[in-house]
């Protein structure tokens, strides 16, 4: 039995879960999410407790058992509290600003980079160097943060670029200059 899959999920009072055939819908104060279940995985609710089970010990079903339980738990958490990722921009002249729904990044390229987030993700710029990414879908928030970071990841010599808040960039030593003995 999967260590994660066998754990029960307590459903908060503010969340409504609907099981419709092979689909699980989670409706909460922040919004609605749905997940299509794998064949052989079943979900049942009883007294505000949700339990995920599998039909047999097939290798694929064993893998999907814990994953399905974690996805449903993240859906419940997203529908109640939401998820947030924070990116920091570091470098002289590097900055971000919002123009309506479009994030405009100045990152040392010859032109500003314009980034439009997908539906369900909210971008907020604080100051000129902090970007907050908020949403109810954990995967979508993380993917959006990774796409923005990939535009200019932190480089190892000066540490310039876009990084996650709290990310430690291992710095390298630059080239050594000529000494008097070599000249």
Query: Do residues 135 and 118 lie in contact, with contact meaning Cβ atoms separated by under 8 Å?
Result: no
DSSP state of 137: -
Of 153, 135, 154, nearest to 144 by C-alpha is: 135
Mark residue 85 as left, alpha or beta (left: phi above 0; alpha: psi -120 to 50; beta: remaining): beta
The Cα–Cα gap between 23 and 5 comes to 18
The Cα–Cα gap between 131 and 54 comes to 41
Query: Do residues 71 and 11 lie in contact, with contact meaning Cβ atoms separated by under 8 Å?
Result: no
Which helix (H) or strand (E) segment holds residue 123: the answer is strand 121-126
Q: What topology is assigned to 83-164 in CATH?
A: Outer Surface Protein A; domain 3 (3.90.930)
Query: Do residues 73 and 51 lie in contact, with contact meaning Cβ atoms separated by under 8 Å?
Result: no
The Cα–Cα gap between 35 and 176 comes to 55
Domains of the chain, residue spans: 9-80, 83-164
pLDDT at 6: 85
pLDDT at 180: 66
Which three-class secondary structure state does DSSP give residue 25? strand
Bridge partners of residue 115, in order along the sequence: 103
Is it true that 9-80 and 83-164 share their CATH fold?
Answer: yes
pLDDT at 83: 96
> Looking at the domain covering 9-80, what would its CATH class be?
alpha beta
pLDDT in tens, the chain (183 residues): 578 888 999 999 999 999 988 899 999 999 999 999 999 999 999 999 999 999 998 899 988 999 999 999 999 999 999 999 999 999 999 999 999 999 999 999 999 999 999 999 999 999 999 999 999 999 999 999 999 999 999 999 999 999 999 999 999 988 887 666 655
pLDDT at 1: 57
pLDDT at 181: 60
pLDDT at 114: 96
pLDDT at 31: 92
| DSSP, residue by residue, 97-113 | EEETTEEEEE-SSSS-E
The Cα–Cα gap between 76 and 48 comes to 12
């Amino acid at each position: 039995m999967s260590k994660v899959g066998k754990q029960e999920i307590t459903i908060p009072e503010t969340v409504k879960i609907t099981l419709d055939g092979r689909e699980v819908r989670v409706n909460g104060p922040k919004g609605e999410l749905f997940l299509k279940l794998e064949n052989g995985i079943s979900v049942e609710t009883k007294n505000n407790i949700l339990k995920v089970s599998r039909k047999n010990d097939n290798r694929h079903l064993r893998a999907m058992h814990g994953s399905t339980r974690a996805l449903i738990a993240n859906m419940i958490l997203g529908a109640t509290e939401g998820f947030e990722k924070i990116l920091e921009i570091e470098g002289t002249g590097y900055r971000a600003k919002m123009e309506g729904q479009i994030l405009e990044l100045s990152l040392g390229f010859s032109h500003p980079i314009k980034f439009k987030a997908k539906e369900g993700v909210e971008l907020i710029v604080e100051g000129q160097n902090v970007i907050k990414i908020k949403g109810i879908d954990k995967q979508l928030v993380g993917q959006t943060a990774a796409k923005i970071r990939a535009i200019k990841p932190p480089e190892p010599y000066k540490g310039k670029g876009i990084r996650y808040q709290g990310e430690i960039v291992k710095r390298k030593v630059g080239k050594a200059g000529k000494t008097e003995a070599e000249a």
